Every structure is written in structure tokens, then in C-alpha cells.
Chain A
């Protein structure tokens, strides 16, 4: 494994919901400029981890270092303004706002309106939603909503992009387009991408590094091919032999 710079340094992160230990002392380092995957069985704490990283949930303890700064305790918009953007597992499109308004809502107020409009047009073009720009977000199909969410997350040109199950409900052709774009972001622009995904094809073929969670703890990390044969991972997914 090449020693890469670290984009996000997660140290001993904890979040309990009453008696449920959703994330229980999670530690891992997301390498900069790479596409990484975060996998684990249902209820292993992947989405909770995302919510902790983006400030939607407040961590009980632990640290998340981003560019040398601990971002635990910051509000979600403050984390977003530092260059971390995300999509949601269940889409959170603004339903009674048009596709175009959805896009503009995520533009920074510091960017002139003309520039923000141009960027929105460009991203809508990329996710093939230009024709639907005046349609309400809530009237789009689920797959289209996923695409809109992805495009919206890119409005501010973030450095770190967290994608929560981008493949779910998106058809193959669109998914391949989306993955191409993710590769383009990483290769050409040096962006860091962390993907939570159940579709193992996506993880195995597109991620350079994979982290595996189970019961809120990281149980393995490594190259996709190593993870596939890791005993502990197989046990977490399928139980004891």
C-alpha cells in the first residue's frame, strides 16, 4: 500500500444511541486524492459515521482531523464550508423546488450569481437533467433524484466528497457515467472520495482502499482484493463457518 497523504484522520470516534453502540471507537485514515470505500453489514454504523463526519450528529467522543483541524463539534454548514460535501442514503432533494433551484441552493453566497448559474447549468448537463431544470425535485424518479443530489453536492467544488450509496436505484448506464465522473474528479482534480456502498462491484472495481465496519468498529482495511479474502470480513457478512 502506498503511503498517501491523509485527507481525513478519524480517531476513536464514538456515538451511542441509548444502549446501542452505533459507532464504538472507530479509527481510520482516509487517504487524500483517492477513492475509498466504506462497507459493512446493515447496521454496522456506516451512515452514522457519515453523519458524525458531516456534523449532522454530534459525536460522544473522538476526533476527526481535516487539514489539521478537529471538526468534531462544528455545525454541518461549517464543515461543508471547509470543503466536505455529501449525498444521503435516502435522497434529500428539496421536493417543492425546481431542479435548478436545488442546484443554486448549494452555491456559496460568495460566488457571483452569474458564475453559480453557469456551474449549475454545467453540472445539470453532466447528469442529464438539463431538460428537467424547471421541474420540481419531488417529481423526478428516484434515480434522477440521486443524480440531482450528486450534482448538487458538487456545486461548491468540494475537496472531499462523501457518497452514501450512490448506486442504489440508479440504472447501469447512468451509474457508469456517474462512476466515470467520480474517477474524473479524483484523477484530474485530485479530489478525495469516500463511498458507502452495498454494491460490491462498485467497491471492488472503483475503490483503491476499503474500510470494513462491523458493530461500529473498523474490523479491516486494505486493498479490495485483500478484503474479499479476509476471514474476519467474511465472518461479519456471513457468520461463523
Chain B
């Protein structure tokens, strides 16, 4: 049992990957960008989902790790002349270390206190990026050398997205993931029944921090200009959270589905109603929250179209 389901899921993933590989040479630059940013938000919302969906610690500061990745790339490419691909590893490493340093104290807080602490941590990082001029060039930002990069960044994003999906899938279908779910459901019971909650929470937090750093780095090289205001913009956190919740947090497919639908809806409303697009988008979100509070996957489970639970 279970074997066929895994095969079917990996079959679906393979089809998606093939489409995404064939697509870029058949579409224009703008469309390539839209798909690239959609993939980026798949990475972000799946990562957010590991700590907030699986583990129940709702983070309002995840943009921090994305910003750290962007700055690692910006600084190393411009000031040290590194190849941009190599900078991604540094961003991931710094993000990993920062996630452990911040996670250790902050993961002792629960619910809204954790959310607010993360919001504060992200703002703090933004302030550091603004003030530490010798390293970050401060508020004026960093401009990267202008080159045609739409294909290389597209495929880099695809590879990181694939890695994020595979790791999320593994987490979701393993005892490691079940233990994260147990922490989300009842931390005292989980701790009393053999789960070292500190270790599992920190592991989940670190896992959820590394992929956004890679995505942030690629994104910096794609748009060629970074500054503290855009790289640590709270809207990035809100989007990743929203996409995951729309698809169904705590599932693997949910955040992927949620991002592909909502990001493209967002893009279309922006093109069609440039002035009112945030209002249209807002109305859509209110309707979803009212009628599908647990997202598309939650709705599918309630209707009996999808099975409850991840491990069968």
C-alpha cells in the first residue's frame, strides 16, 4: 500500500517538470518572468508550510530568509566578483545559521507571540540591511551587472523548486513529519509521548529557512537590483502565507496548487484592473476565507475527494 500513490504523485510532478522545461523557449520574456516568480512563490509557500503548516508555528517574518539570500548574492557578485550560482550556497548557509540563532529563543513562544516575534526579527534584519552600509550599501541598494539571464534564472528556480517539493513531500510522508504535526496539534502531549519538541521545531524552522534563501538569491540576480525595502517587504511574507493557506496548509499539494492559481489570478487582475487590483484580490481572499477556511485541500478532504492524513 502507499506505493501506487507515491508513483502517481511523482508521475504528476514529472509531467509538471516536463511542461516547465519545454515552456521557456516557447514563450516571451514577460511570460517567462511570470512563471519564474510563480515558481519562486511555490518555493516560499512550501517552505513557510514546513514550519507553519506542518508544525503549527505561524511565521510572519519569513521574508527575512529570502532577503538574506538576496543580499548574499548581491554583495558577493558586486563586491567580490563571485559567480552568482556559487553565492546561492552562501545565502543558504547564512540563512541556516540565522534560523538556528533566532529559532532557539523564538520557538519557545507560541501562537501570536511567535508570529509577532518573527515579524520583529524580519524588521530587525531590514534595519540592519539599511544601516550596515559598509556591507550592504545601505538604503541606496545594490545594482547588479546587467546581462540577459532569463533562461539561467528560470532553470535555477526550477531546480530549487524541485528540491523544495521533494523535501516537503518527504517531510509530509515521514515519521519526522508526523512528529511535526503532533507538535502542531498538542505540544504538551507530543513532548510527553517521546518527542524532543525543541529539536524537531528547530529542524523544521531551519528546513523552512534554507529554500527561501536560494529563491531570494536567484530573484536578486533576475531583477538585478536589490534594496532593503523590497527584499524585506512584508508583502512577500503575506503572499507566501496566503498562497499556502489558499491551497491548504499542512499538505504538500496545497501550497503548490494555491500558488499556481493565486499568483496567476493576482497577475491577471493586476493587468486588467491596474488601479483596483488589490481590492479585487482582497475580495477574492475574503470569499475564500469565508467559504474555504482550510483551503482547497481542506475543502477536498471535507467533500471526500481527498483522504485525511498524509501517512496511510
Contacts and interface: CB of A to CB of B under 8 A. Distances in A.
Say whether A and B bind each other: yes
Which residue, of A56, A94, A108, has the highest number of chain B Cβ atoms within 10 A? A94
Contact of B192 (A80, A104, A116): A80
Interface stretch (B64-72, B130-138, B176-184): B176-184
Contacts of A92: 186, 188-189, 192
B193 A80 contact: yes
A75 to B, nearest CB: 7
- Rank and list the top 5 A-B pairs by shortest CB-CB distance, nearest first: A98-B309, A94-B185, A92-B189, A80-B194, A105-B182
B195 interface: yes
Nearest to A103: B178
Given A81-B194, A101-B311, 17 more contacts: A56-B191, A75-B191, A76-B191, A77-B195, A77-B196, A77-B197, A80-B194, A92-B192, A94-B185, A94-B190, A97-B181, A98-B308, A108-B194, A134-B307, A134-B312, A136-B308, A156-B194
17 contacts: A54-B192, A56-B192, A75-B196, A77-B197, A88-B192, A95-B185, A96-B181, A96-B184, A96-B250, A97-B309, A101-B181, A101-B309, A104-B175, A105-B175, A106-B193, A107-B175, A113-B175
A85 interface: yes
Nearest to B186: A92
A218 interface: no
A86 B185 CA distance: 17
Contact of A134 (B175, B184, B308): B308
Nearest to B294: A96
Contacts of B181: 94, 96-97, 101, 105
Question: Considering residues B185, B190, B193, B195, which has the most beta carbons from chain A within 10 angstroms of its beta carbon?
Answer: B193
A100 interface: yes
A75 B188 CA distance: 11
Contact of A97 (B175, B182, B188, B312): B182
Contacts of A95: 185
A92 B183 CA distance: 12
Nearest to B198: A75
Contacts of A135: 308
A2 interface: no
Contacts of B185: 94-97
Contacts of A167: none
A185 interface: no
Of the candidates A56, A92, A156, the one having the most CB atoms from chain B within 10 angstroms of its own CB is: A92
A55 B189 CA distance: 11
B167 to A, nearest CB: 18
A109 interface: yes
Interface string B188-215: 1111111111000000000000000000
Nearest to A136: B308
Contacts of A113: 175
Contacts of B310: 101
Given A101-B309, A107-B175, A134-B312, A94 B189 contact: yes
A169 to B, nearest CB: 18
A146 interface: no
B308 A105 contact: no
B199 to A, nearest CB: 9
Interface string A82-123: 000110100011111110110011111100010010000000
B234 to A, nearest CB: 28
B187 to A, nearest CB: 10
B175 A109 contact: yes
Contacts of B189: 88, 92-94
A59 interface: no
A46 interface: no
A54 B188 CA distance: 11
Contacts of B193: 77, 80, 85, 105-106, 152-153
B191 A100 contact: no
B188 A56 contact: yes
Contacts of B175: 104-105, 107, 109, 113, 116
B308 A94 contact: no
Nearest to B301: A136
A111 to B, nearest CB: 10
A134 B309 contact: yes
A104 B190 CA distance: 12
